[in-house]
Amino acid sequence: MEDTNKNKGLRKQLINILSEKGINDKNVLNALNNIPRQWFMESGLKTYAYTDKAYPIGEGQTISQPYTVAYQTQLLKTKAGDKVLEVGTGSGYQTSVLIELGCKVFTIERQRLLFKKAELLFKKIKWKPKKIVFGDGYKGLKINAPYDAIIVTAGSPELPNNLMLQLKIGGRLVIPIGTKEQTMTRYVRVSDKEYSKETFGSFRFVPLLKDKV
């Protein structure tokens, strides 16, 4: 687990790029600046850790682009102590960003190999989720609900109703909705039965898949 001065310098440059691209939440930028992204990447790709792109992490999945991680995190509007559910642990990078922000994170991954890899990585680094679960995030994680915020990090063809039901009143769900391309969407549970909906830009995610486990 190495983090050289060169890594730190490149990270700072990446943070400047993200800020130029419109990320303006200082806490989010700080969190990304504190996390060595190379630790979450495959050994042959570590030199690209500070390029603002998504890269393969195995099993046909990717570590999200830093801009996307920052964008979604910004939309979640978390504060320290918030209970957050993440659907799609993948590399564990987004998970660590939320933990760095002081959130208590519950995270679900449906690819066994990626789940195992992330579980092992969290043993070695300082960012630890409250729980990492092998399962289908479409269903959410009822046992620990309700959540202040829920983030889906894969493209969802439809809105998973269970996730809506697992939000606190005032809770936010940030989810990319669509098949080939996704619209970043934020739902806020304004009362027991009412939700507000806002849409943001277009993104491309690997698909949220159902019924593997």
Task: Work out which of 137, 140, 176, 178 binds ligand SAH, going by CB under 6 A.
Answer: 137
The SS3 of residue 203 is: strand
Q: Kindly tell me which of 115 and 187 has the beta carbon lying closer to ligand SAH.
A: 115
Q: At what angle do helices 26-33 and 66-76 cross, to 10 degrees?
A: 140
Amino acid at position 178, single letter: G
Q: Kindly tell me which of 91 and 166 has the beta carbon lying closer to ligand SAH.
A: 91
Which tokens sit at 211?
């019924």
Q: Does 61 bind ligand SAH (CB under 6 A)?
A: yes
Is residue 82 within 8 A of residue 146, CB to CB? The reply is: no
The one-character DSSP state at 40 is: G
Q: Does 85 bind ligand SAH (CB under 6 A)?
A: no
Nearest alpha-carbon partner for 106 in 124, 121, 94: 94
Question: How many angstroms separate the CA atoms of 145 and 128, rounded?
Answer: 19
Q: Does 37 bind ligand SAH (CB under 6 A)?
A: no
Q: Does 153 bind ligand SAH (CB under 6 A)?
A: yes
Residue 131 main-chain phi, psi, to 5 deg: -155, 135
**Known catalytic residue: 91?**
no
Q: Kindly tell me which of 130 and 170 has the beta carbon lying closer to ligand SAH.
A: 130
Task: Work out which of 73, 74, 78, 91 binds ligand SAH, going by CB under 6 A.
Answer: 91
Q: Does 155 bind ligand SAH (CB under 6 A)?
A: no
Q: Does 110 bind ligand SAH (CB under 6 A)?
A: yes
Question: How many angstroms separate the CA atoms of 85 and 4, rounded?
Answer: 32
Q: Which residues are catalytic?
A: 64
Q: Which residues bind ligand SAH (CB under 6 A)?
A: 61-64, 87-88, 90-91, 93-94, 108-111, 114, 136-138, 153-154, 206, 208-210
